Amino acid sequence: MRNCILVLGLILVASMALAAPIDGKWIGEIAGQDGSPMKLSYTFKADGATLTGSTAGPDGKEVALKDGKIDGNNLSFSVSFDMGGQEMKMEMKGVLSGDDLKLSMDMMGQPMEFKLKRAK
């Protein structure tokens, strides 16, 4: 019985240590259309294999992440923006490494990569 309690305690501690290293705010930037830097901000929350969160849209309003998944250090999600009555959907895939998150994005067939850092 004591060993069973010890094993359950170790599993609980391990799951807490492994759970959601992505949780929190992440920031970065990409080059805008005119080449000037455009700031990015994401908030992520993992619940098992499900990833939720939000980012700021072009108008500054909060936009929810969709179809979020997390598997170990790999994650994926999509973001949809309304651009003058037309939906623009971006598919994202990323790899988490400590306080760095490398994302690749497909926006209307145009691939792009960028990095985010965990906000302090």
Structure tokens at 76: 């994926």
Residue 10's alpha-carbon distances to 3, 16, 46, in angstroms, are 10, 10, 21
pLDDT digits (tens, 9 = 90+) for 11-49: 444 433 444 599 999 999 988 778 888 889 999 999 999
Structure tokens at 28: 């970065």
pLDDT at position 4: 40
Taking the whole predicted model, whether its pTM rises above 0.85 is answered as no
In the chain, domain spans: 21-118
Superfamily of domain 21-118: Calycin beta-barrel core domain (2.40.128.20)
pLDDT at position 84: 84
pLDDT digits (tens, 9 = 90+) for 57-101: 767 789 999 999 999 999 999 999 887 888 888 999 999 999 999
